Chains A and B, each alone.
Chain A
Amino acid sequence: MTKKQKKVLTRIIITTLLLVIIQFLPKNNIYIEFAMYMIPYIIIGYDILKKAFLGIIHGQIFDENFLMAIATVGAIGLGDYREGSAVMLFYQIGELFQSYAVGKSRKNITELMDIRPDYANIEENGEIVQVDPDDIEVDTVIIVKPGEKVPIDGIVIDGKTTLNTSALTGESLPREVKEGDEVISGCVNISGLIRIKTTKEFGESTVSKILDLVENSSMKKSKSENFITRFARYYTPAVCGGALVLAIIPPVVNIIMGNVAMWMMWLERALTTLVISCPCALVISIPLSFFGGIGGASSKGVLVKGSNYLEMLAETKYVVCDKTGTLTKGVFEVTDIHAENGFDEKELLKYAAYAESYSTHPISKSLKDAYGENIDSGKVDDVREISGHGVSAKVEGKNVYAGNVKLMNKYGIRYSNPDKTGTEVHVAVDGKYAGYILISDVIKPNAKEAIAGLKQSGVEHVVMLTGDAKNVADSVGKQLGIDIVKSELLPSDKVSEVEKLMDEKGEKEKLAFVGDGINDAPVLSRADIGIAMGAMGSDAAIEAADIVLMDDDPAKISLAMKISRKTLSIVHQNIVFALGVKFLFLLLSALGLANMWWAIFADVGVMIIAVLNATRALRCK
């Protein structure tokens, strides 16, 4: 609790005690009773009265303070001293609870995002000294001990260790780093001491960028927040007007009808409506829900740049994905080996790997990786690249051809057609067909569930865009269960495809584009929501996107969607609940069925429930 909160708490306790004591004191004189109640009333309400007074002077009437001041002063004027003081007491209890709850969840959220390093270690005259990370220049050597956070982005120049990246990515799998590897600030060093040569200033480092992004996220306000702000602007004056009407019209009508006016009764009802109508439940719980949602998401490695994006994500009906790097790993691997004519798979792979061993093409690398053994370059001889076809080479004295179907045709070798898609490497040894190896981009392990998850959370159309060949793209699309696949696109075509979809879709339906942040900045900014993934350390992606997934797990897209839907449903629950209860009680009080005590529940009780509901947004699995 802060100092301010403790002070209010003390006032609440004193007032409560005084009010209890007063109940037992003899009250034979109305003036003495008034004086007795005034002591707790002033203790608990002086700041509200002062604020209301200052507000009127500065032309800021019609706020909560004004409502409370008018209602309680009115009640006391009517002789309801006890009710007047109690309303003020409960109002303060509610305010204290609210400020405590908000402070608490703010702390929770900042703790989730507690990745700010406090210091950096540098070596000076053989001793390790702690300095402010802000003072470290680029190319300085810093030391990170086990248990410490990496303060600044850089490259490991000495030592090896495992890093815990969970604060950044929400991913619990530790990452191994050794000399020459890049490390990103915000990771926690688990095992060994490492020396890092910094490549950025602290202010430009990943950790600073992320903190900046999250802290500024509540600056971009959602439609719901703006709605409530606008609503509150008209609501309070309207309620005050309504109360005034309620206090005057019925008695006047009574007089005209020749009945007793009953001014006091109607005035009391009018004051009750003022207490009920206090808008704080709404005004506080909605930004709190969004902030909770954003905080909860960031603890899972999903950074949302503003509540408006979180809100839009829940309305997303179209998700457009880039293929390479988003749904697939973007690295080529051997996915199928088919050996024929008495060759076994290992042999086939060996000939192919040896024949391609001099090539720098990614395909050669995937062949070598799949072969897994060291290549003895002495066994390869007479390598010739046949451009657009493949290679021919002498491996262990045998003539090996490795390449595409054109190469096989060229030498008149009969080959088998693969039943799967990918880049084909056919191999012939001494003129005899040995089989083929398929190399393709590998689909990420979670991609299929991710697409299914998207559809489950209400996305109607999943579209995949890629520059790859049609047969490869279609096969990936089919495996993942994607509705629409657009292949053989140039980068500029991707923008126009997204634009076409933007025109097609309904006004209320939102379109999200998911990319890996490389080369797709224009598309990211063109879509309603740009989601960049695998953004750890990629500044360009962090800048261009509205939502940033720290690692490259596609399942995070549907997770983000789930969080946004949950947040939005909490927001809607709170709006409906708070307004519903308030209107019900307003009606009851106008009819004389709800007294001041009910009014206190309708104000403070509703607010407490709404705030508690809002804090649920923080916790989402």
Chain B
Amino acid sequence: MDMKKTYKIEVDCAACAQKMEDATKKVQGIKDATVAFMTQKMRVEFEDDADAESVMKDVAKACKKVESDCEIFL
């Protein structure tokens, strides 16, 4: 099944966006993730059995850790 979602984000620099991307990819339940700094969007692909909502909470936490003033609008 195709479990892809796009979220609006707020991040200040391209390098920070890259950090968020790397951090998101490591979260349990995430198959793949791309963060586009230019359009301020994050596209994530979930593992088949993942619960999008709880996974995204972990993603937000992981991103905050690497980039303190980023925002993901869930």
Contacts and interface: CB of A to CB of B under 8 A. Distances in A.
- Do they bind each other? yes
Interface of A: 4, 47, 50-51, 54-55, 58, 60, 63-64, 95, 98-99, 102, 106, 215-216, 218-219, 221, 229, 232, 279-280, 283-284, 287-288, 291
Given A99-B12, A283-B15, A58 B65 contact: yes
Given A50-B68, A54-B68, A58-B66, A218 B36 contact: yes
B38 A291 contact: yes
Nearest to A221: B34
B28 interface: no
Contacts of B66: 55, 58, 60
Contacts of A64: 13, 15
Contacts of A60: 19, 65-66
B25 interface: no
B13 A283 contact: yes
A106 B65 contact: no
A4 B70 CA distance: 12
Given A51-B69, A283-B13, A283-B14, 19 more contacts: A4-B12, A54-B68, A58-B65, A63-B15, A63-B19, A64-B15, A216-B39, A218-B36, A218-B37, A218-B38, A219-B34, A219-B43, A232-B15, A232-B18, A279-B15, A280-B15, A284-B13, A284-B14, A291-B38
A387 to B, nearest CB: 51
Contacts of A58: 65-66
Residue of A58, A99, A219, A283 with highest tally of chain B CB at under 10 A: A219
Most-contacted residue by chain A among B14, B39, B41 (CB, 10 A): B14
Query: What 3 pairs between A and B have smallest CB-CB spacing?
Result: A291-B38, A218-B36, A219-B34
B37 A287 contact: yes
Nearest to A98: B13
A377 B13 CA distance: 73
A231 B41 CA distance: 23
A46 to B, nearest CB: 13
Interface string B1-39: 000001000001111001100000000000000101111
Nearest to B34: A219
Nearest to A279: B15
Contacts of B43: 216, 219
A219 B36 contact: yes
Contacts of A102: 38
A216 B38 CA distance: 10
Contact of A229 (B6, B18, B39, B69): B18
Contacts of A55: 66
Given A98-B13, A99-B12, A280-B13, A215 B41 contact: yes
B23 to A, nearest CB: 9
Contacts of B18: 229, 232, 283
Contacts of B6: 216
B39 A215 contact: yes
Contacts of B40: 106
Contact of B38 (A4, A63, A229, A288): A288
B6 to A, nearest CB: 7
16 contacts: A4-B12, A51-B69, A55-B66, A58-B65, A63-B15, A63-B19, A64-B15, A216-B6, A216-B41, A218-B38, A219-B43, A221-B34, A232-B18, A279-B15, A280-B13, A283-B15
B15 A106 contact: no
Interface in B48-69: 65-66, 68-69
Contacts of B13: 64, 95, 98-99, 280, 283-284
A50 B13 CA distance: 16
A584 to B, nearest CB: 23
Contact of A287 (B14, B65, B68, B69): B14
A286 B39 CA distance: 14
B16 to A, nearest CB: 8
A100 B15 CA distance: 16
Contacts of B36: 216, 218-219
A216 B7 CA distance: 11
A291 B68 CA distance: 25
B10 to A, nearest CB: 9
Contacts of B34: 219, 221
B63 to A, nearest CB: 11
Nearest to B10: A4
A50 B69 CA distance: 11
A550 B65 CA distance: 43
Contacts of A291: 38-39
A64 B67 CA distance: 12
A278 to B, nearest CB: 10
A287 B15 contact: no
Nearest to B68: A54
Contacts of B41: 215-216, 219
